[in-house]
Structure 1
Amino acid sequence: MNDTTSPVQPAGQRGAQGGHGGRFGRAPEKIDPADREQLAESPVPMRRVLALFSPHRRQVAAVTAIIVAISVISMASPFLLRAVIDDALPHQDVSLLLWAVGGMLAVTLVTQLLGVVQTWLTTGVGERVMHGLRTDVFAHLQRQSIAFFTRTRSGEVQSRLTHDISGMQAVITSTATSIASNVTTAVATAIAMIALSPQLSLLSLLVIPPAVWMTRRVALLRRDITARRQRRLADLHSQVEETLTVSGMTLVKTLGAAETTARRFTDTSTDLVDLEMRSQLAGRWRMATMQIIFAAIPALIYLAAGFPATSGGMTIGTLIAFTTLQAGIFRPLMGLLNVGAQWISSMALFSRIFGYLDLPVEIAPPADPVRIDHDTLRGDVRFEAVRFAHDPTSRYAVDDVSLTVSAGTTLALVGETGSGKTTLAGLVARLHDPTSGRVTIDGIDLRDLDPADLARIVGVVSQDTHLVHASIRDNLLLAAPDASDVDLWRALEAAQVSALVAALPDQLDTVVGARGHRFSGGERQRLAIARTLLRNPRVLVLDEATSALDNETERDLQAALERLMKGRTTITIAHRLSTVRPAEQIAVLDHGHVAELGDHDALLAQDGRYARLVAARGGAETEPEPALAA
């Protein structure tokens, strides 16, 4: 599929810009090969699609009835026109004239009112179906493991939640209704034409097929060029999205790439101008030929009406009514030519959406979770012969680890980059499930705990700080929605960031900006720490929680953390000796194994891997503090 960070139109909407049908209807659509591939890979049972609309059966039936009613009622206008021309005007029949003209106005009024009701019903059904799909997909994706988001592009997730589901509106309010409307209109028009003149109807049937064929050829020629134009337009949007953002402009300015990016943008825009010109001029001679054919059709009808052998005593009113119907039959016929492409596009949308809904939940909540009393929870953490691999073909990131972290004590994890520290800590928060073995808190397997209970027990602060684009208050309340302002300020003070927030004009109502860019890395990390501490978790996981802080700020924050860590079970990953030294246990990891285990003094006395890590980073007591991992 295309890079879905670009605002490429969803399948259900692509045909809306696929050419120009003039007054004879929208240009026919060409089936997108990507849609065929999607359906071949993931077929969609029709019963599953219909199940989405089953709660709205009455509204769907009403829409169908309205479409048929509009098509049938509209057919009255040509007959009323014939009555005006053949009877009312020649005979000066004012009463008939008033009735006929009033009937024309009534037809227009009724069909327009029914059209409003149809739009209201179809839009309502479409929006409710989209809302259900959107919320179901969002909720289902939140149940996916971190591994899913690691291997899936964020732009793809956003595209399915926005572009694809929004494309459903075109399926429901355009594709389905247009098929029904075009069928009923074409049938009703053909019946009305035959009722007015069977002879002229036969002539029209002979001329319409080549006219429709020519229209389709012109439309498909333009579609090829328009498809290229859409791809270049997506490139243009992508360049805007990648460049005109905080991160993008920071990169452009620091690399001095403004001239290069401007040149790329100019080249893309120039291509768009060329493609638009070619799109407008493509098949112009065919269009001229087609217009001649369209103009010839009523001329032939007038000619046939002038010969006694073919006129069948046709009146002028009948002739005008017939040509009116004949001109109007092109639009529904052209619409019906789109059915195949629209059907494939629509089913491809359903396939992509159902593909996400059908994703298995790798880390599923327990069917019958163990209920726990948070007030009596101790916080003993145990790793029992734990192994974990990110996928079946890769080596174990954690390999046969057995550790016990008693309640209220600290375990520090050290080791080279890639040794499995973050993966092991992530198992405690159940960001992953062990491939074998188990992780327990107070003897309860984490897989038996309700996810909401586990989130209350285990608090995580990682080096990858994430703040949402909202106020400081909103970011903190994510952890504790019912917290008071007093609670918020207490957490900020514990994280050594209350003075900074108090000095801001809007204080807690200050908007942090996209991903917290208003604040420095250290300030963002302290806000994240305050957010975690607000939950008052029994178990703390600190993954480089102070990595973005300078030495002086880190010492202040570390002192606050040490006070808060008292009475809590803490698992910390840190490169600085000042963070590791006080831990009751230090586990030195090597390729997922626990190579050494003990406290700081005991590990130094062993003169093993830990001692070499300390020595390689400047010695045990050297300032600045030595790092314990590469």
Structure 2
Amino acid sequence: MHPDRESAWTAPADAVEQPRQVRRILKLFRPYRGRLAVVGLLVGAASLVSVATPFLLKEILDVAIPEGRTGLLSLLALGMIFGAVLTSVFGVLQTLISTTVGQRVMHDLRTAVYGRLQQMSLAFFTRTRTGEVQSRIANDIGGMQATVTSTATSLVSNLTSVVATIVAMVVLDWRLTVVSLLLLPVFVWISRRVGRERRKITTRRQKQMAAMAATVTESLSVSGILLGRTMGRSDSLTRAFADESESLVDLEVRSNMAGRWRMAVITIVMAAMPAVIYWTAGIALQLGGPDVSLGTIVAFVSLQQGLFRPTVSLLSTGVQIQSSLALFQRIFEYLDLPIDITERKDAVHLDHIKGEVRFEGVGFGYGGKGGPVLDGIDVTVPAGSSLAVVGPTGAGKSTLGHLVPRLYDVTDGRVTLDGVDVRDLDFDTLARAVGVVSQETYLFHASVAENLRFAKPDATDAELEAAARAAQIHDHIAALPDGYDTVVGERGHRFSGGEKQRLAIARTILRDPPVLVLDEATSALDTRTEAAVQGAIDALSANRTTITIAHRLSTVRDADRIVVLDSGRLAEQGTHEALLAQDGRYAALVRRDARLEPTR
């Protein structure tokens, strides 16, 4: 979606949302309030020291030099130098502490978002582009770095400096102070206008960056490159990416230029203010007004110049904060995502798991306008037995298997493990109890050993080898140049489909779950490779409760029970021989497989 098509934010929504967002942002800094208090003290001390310098200058011009008091002159000059040293030291310490706090807040945000996403159900990831998720963590949180590391401190520092400087200016001459501050409300109004403009553009820019990140993730993965090359779409993909990048260029320019001329006017006016002060003081003297000493005028202009920098910085900081609110909102959207799959406070922990699985009146739907995917499924799988689930495409086979490890939660009925509803079990018990081997094997870009140890981090080399032997993949691994230290490549593309499946099986053997869900684990393999993988599966399934979702019926004939799903309902169940004798849907599926089986 092109960012310009996004609807603009309405003012009433901003008015309601901004204060809540600001409170939530401030809450992020609460764990570090002790360090922030130290930063506040350093800021205050630095402001007081910097404000004192013009008063020392006034004494030099009005007293020390006119009266020829060399000792006082030396003392005042040393005081100005010492003030500069103190200000620099305070500034370095303030930067160190504030940057540390900011980076800790960034770490907390990244961890919170990643942890939240780890808790999301499988449904969230099936409807969300991977690049979008990555962009939220990398681009959005990365874009907030300036705000949480320096902007907050800059706000406090500049605000303190402005207040202290204005007080000092009033002490020197309140009339000149009034002249200096006449335009300040106008400046504040301008900066707020610029901030709102930047915020809208920032929202569009981040969405465009997320879209571009998703395109990169999808098209520059190994699978994306293979698809693009084989379909002859490399050039068109490059052009599409160039169009998205062009849109981002436009938004970046608009973001950086938003309000630049208005802020430039503020800078020009602030820079011209010393001339106004000199002119005002001169006219007042000519008209017989109050006598203002040269030292007072110079000191006042010095203070005014000192006021200029933090005021402009403060206005710019306000603009940055407005822009950052858009980034914070995108992060808070992820932190506020409802978690579908949660662990109950009184969750049951099972130390010993037999492995009996029951589907009791199970119904499931993804929501929306679609009908139920599963409806009224009643099946019992005794511990140590095998169940095969077959049926046409879209019958709900994989969904049924996903309910056992709670990748989804049932919408009706319940799924039990050893008589306990899986929704009542703690996550640790469920992870130990159920292993899943799917058609799409995922391997990390790491070594073979690291991929296997993902199932059991403390596994010894001997345990790795035993699992690999059971999965009939050890000999192939041992023949590799680096053996178990061989890097598998992006998504395991250095290995064939059958080899990846056997690695996945070895990984599951290492975890040793009492319940096994095989989700069409061999459907993407050729007949010869399937036979090799099936041997590994047989080793994995021994003495386990096994639920096999199958497309090829040749892999399930020996199952203790076979159930046939049709449009989410249980159509038939029984053994292979009994179902053939019924000459129903299962028999029709067997005849279909026989016709599709290649001739030899």
Instruction: Give secondary structure in 1 for the equivalent of 2:511.
Output: coil
Alignment of 1:465-480 (within 5 A): 465-480=441-456
Q: Which residue of 1 aligns with 2:302?
A: 324
- The question of whether the paired residues in 1 share the 8 Å contact of 2:560 and 2:575 is answered with yes
Post-superposition CA distance 1:575-598 (Å, at most 9, x none): 223202121211111011111112
Q: Which residue of 2 aligns with 1:56?
A: 32
Post-superposition CA distance 1:46-103 (Å, at most 9, x none): 7665554443332222222222222221112222233334444455544333322222
Alignment of 1:444-463 (within 5 A): 444-463=420-439
**Which protein, 1 or 2, shows the higher relative CO under an 8 Å CA cutoff with sep ≥ 6?**
1
- The structure 1 residue matched to 2:569, chosen from 556, 581, 593, is 593
Distance 1:241 1:58 in 2: 41
Distance 1:215 1:44 in 2: 21
- The question of whether the paired residues in 1 share the 8 Å contact of 2:99 and 2:150 is answered with no
* Deviation of 1:295 (Å): 5.7
Q: Which residue of 1 aligns with 2:350?
A: 372
1:184 aligns with 2:160: yes
- The question of whether the paired residues in 1 share the 8 Å contact of 2:180 and 2:273 is answered with yes
- The question of whether the paired residues in 2 share the 8 Å contact of 1:199 and 1:311 is answered with no
1:516 aligns with 2:492: yes
* Deviation of 1:425 (Å): 1.1
Alignment of 1:198-347 (within 5 A): 198-206=174-182, 243-263=219-239, 293=269, 296-307=272-283, 308=285, 309=287, 312-337=290-315
Task: Give identity over the alignment, percent.
Answer: 53
Greater shift after overlay, 414-423 or 259-268?
259-268
Distance 1:590 1:288 in 2: 70
* Deviation of 1:571 (Å): 0.8
Letter in 2 for 1:476: L
Alignment of 1:71-90 (within 5 A): 71-90=47-66
Q: Which residue of 1 aligns with 2:372?
A: 396
CA-atom RMSD in angstroms = 3.9
Instruction: Give secondary structure in 2 for the equivalent of 1:33.
Output: coil
- The question of whether the paired residues in 2 share the 8 Å contact of 1:390 and 1:396 is answered with yes
Post-superposition CA distance 1:174-204 (Å, at most 9, x none): 3433332232222222222233333433332
Distance 2:271 2:405 in 1: 74
Distance 1:220 1:38 in 2: 9
Q: TM-score when scaled to structure 1?
A: 0.82
Post-superposition CA distance 1:549-585 (Å, at most 9, x none): 3221211221232233222211111222320212121
Given the superposition, is the C-alpha separation of residues 606 and 232 from structure 1 closer, same or farther in structure 2, using an over 3 Å criterion? closer
Q: Which residue of 1 aligns with 2:341?
A: 363
Q: Which residue of 2 aligns with 1:129?
A: 105
- The question of whether the paired residues in 2 share the 8 Å contact of 1:383 and 1:402 is answered with yes
Instruction: Give secondary structure in 2 for the equivalent of 1:329.
Output: helix
- The structure 2 residue matched to 1:565, chosen from 541, 565, 571, is 541
Distance 1:215 1:50 in 2: 22
Gaps of 5+ in 1: 4-31, 626-630
Post-superposition CA distance 1:336-359 (Å, at most 9, x none): 446765665566655554554444
Instruction: Give secondary structure in 2 for the equivalent of 1:491.
Output: helix
Q: Which residue of 1 aligns with 2:415?
A: 439
Distance 1:265 1:387 in 2: 43
Post-superposition CA distance 1:359-392 (Å, at most 9, x none): 4433222333434343xx4322222221222227
Given the superposition, is the C-alpha separation of residues 464 and 86 from structure 1 closer, same or farther in structure 2, using an over 3 Å criterion? same
Distance 1:220 1:373 in 2: 57
- The question of whether the paired residues in 1 share the 8 Å contact of 2:110 and 2:137 is answered with yes
Q: Which residue of 2 aligns with 1:17?
A: none
Distance 2:468 2:13 in 1: 53
- The structure 2 residue matched to 1:582, chosen from 549, 552, 558, is 558
Instruction: Give secondary structure in 2 for the equivalent of 1:123.
Output: helix
Post-superposition CA distance 1:297-326 (Å, at most 9, x none): 333322333342377443433333322222
Q: TM-score when scaled to structure 2?
A: 0.85
Given the superposition, is the C-alpha separation of residues 281 and 345 from structure 1 closer, same or farther in structure 2, using an over 3 Å criterion? closer
Q: Which residue of 2 aligns with 1:427?
A: 403
- The question of whether the paired residues in 2 share the 8 Å contact of 1:415 and 1:588 is answered with yes
- The question of whether the paired residues in 2 share the 8 Å contact of 1:43 and 1:351 is answered with no
Letter in 2 for 1:71: S
1:492 aligns with 2:480: no
Distance 1:201 1:243 in 2: 61
- The question of whether the paired residues in 2 share the 8 Å contact of 1:66 and 1:118 is answered with yes
Distance 2:200 2:342 in 1: 46
Q: Which residue of 1 aligns with 2:46?
A: 70
Alignment: residue pair count: 594
* Deviation of 1:613 (Å): 1.5
Gaps of 5+ in 2: none
* Deviation of 1:419 (Å): 0.3
Letter in 2 for 1:560: A
